[in-house]
Amino acid sequence: MRYNAIQSFAIGCILTGVWICTGCEVINPDETLPTTIKVEPFDFQVEDGQGSAMNKITEVWVYANNSFVGAFLPPAQIYYLPEGSTQFTFRPGIRNNGIANDAIVYPLFTGYTMTLNAAAGQVFEVQPITSYKPETTFAFLSDFELGNPFVDNRDTVAASKMVQSNLDVFEGQYAGRIVMSKAAHFIEVGHSIPMSDLPADGTPVYLEFRYKSETEMSIGLLGIDLTGQSFSNFFYLVKPSENWNMLYIELTDLVRASALPGYKILFRSQYPSGGTQDEYNIYLDNIKVVHL
């Protein structure tokens, strides 16, 4: 579910933690007190083989009896006027492709549903739980703990490569590291084993990853046909970040348009023009490609 065209009023309400009212009357202090629902940030739970439980869930999208109540920055207080037994659903939201005004319900995560008896002045505390949907497929998963799968160097610069490193790690003991220098001035690298059977019918496909970078890098998708011929498309530019950050990058439309039997994720970077440092580091961790 997308909510790309968030109106200016709704944006202001989300960013300040104020309730977004949709299709219901404005609370009047002289009228009946609302039900108050205090919602904590999501508890994201993973199973073995699903990688890290760290996430970047930014909003909780709230529905009452399947009607949209609003999107809020947790922890948040939600005020609800109607009374009686009400089924509330709390859905985890992200910023699609890291774009601030592209807030969506993340289609790979489950919602959290509970029934509350709404009544004037009642206060409920909710700790929503989410996880990957049971039908989620992990087409690619690497946290660099067992090695470095990104050994398919597609550039012609012998000095450039990604390595398993323990110098700066988001989680666990290792991360992937790329060093850009005057000798290693350009890199284009992908993982060695292609992903297969990515859905080309519009089913959501996402790349999730953590990064920390002193220079820009580009994200690419390499498609491989049945003859082994490959076609690369670099479609996303990642700006430097001095702290570890996380992105959810949508691949759905790229896979649907190409509909090839195999794919690799590519990372590309170069020593910055006018660079003054001997080295510029890029660190990567908890890389996943997931789809339904």
Residue 170 sits in the same domain as residue 125: no
Q: Does any domain span residue 1?
A: no
What's residue 31's pLDDT?
Answer: 62
Residue 256 sits in the same domain as residue 206: yes
Q: Does any domain span residue 3?
A: no
Residue 160 sits in the same domain as residue 277: yes
Last residue in a domain, options 112, 131, 150: 131
Residue 183 sits in the same domain as residue 144: yes
Average pLDDT, the chain: 91
Q: Does any domain span residue 86?
A: yes
Q: What is the pLDDT of residues 198-230, one digit of tens each?
A: 999 999 999 999 999 999 999 999 999 999 999
Residue 94 sits in the same domain as residue 189: no
Q: Tell me the whole-structure pTM to 2 decimals.
A: 0.87
CATH number of the domain encompassing residue 67? 2.60.40
Last residue in a domain, options 103, 131, 159: 131
Q: Domain count of the chain?
A: 2
Residue 32 sits in the same domain as residue 169: no
Q: Does any domain span residue 211?
A: yes
What's residue 10's pLDDT?
Answer: 38
Q: Does any domain span residue 89?
A: yes
Spatial distance between the Cα atoms of 25 and 81, rounded to a whole number of angstroms: 8
CATH number of the domain encompassing residue 269? 2.60.120.260
Q: Is the pLDDT of residue 59 over 80?
A: yes
Last residue in a domain, options 131, 160, 181: 131
Q: What is the pLDDT of residues 146-163, one digit of tens each?
A: 999 999 999 999 999 999
Q: Is the pLDDT of residue 270 over 80?
A: yes
Residue 211 sits in the same domain as residue 264: yes
What's residue 32's pLDDT?
Answer: 81
Residue 142 sits in the same domain as residue 110: no
Q: Is the peptide bond before 75 cis (omega within 30 degrees of 0)?
A: yes
Q: How confident is the model at residue 261 (pLDDT cuts 50, 70, 90)?
A: very high
77 is in which domain, residue-wise? 8-131
Residue 19 sits in the same domain as residue 158: no
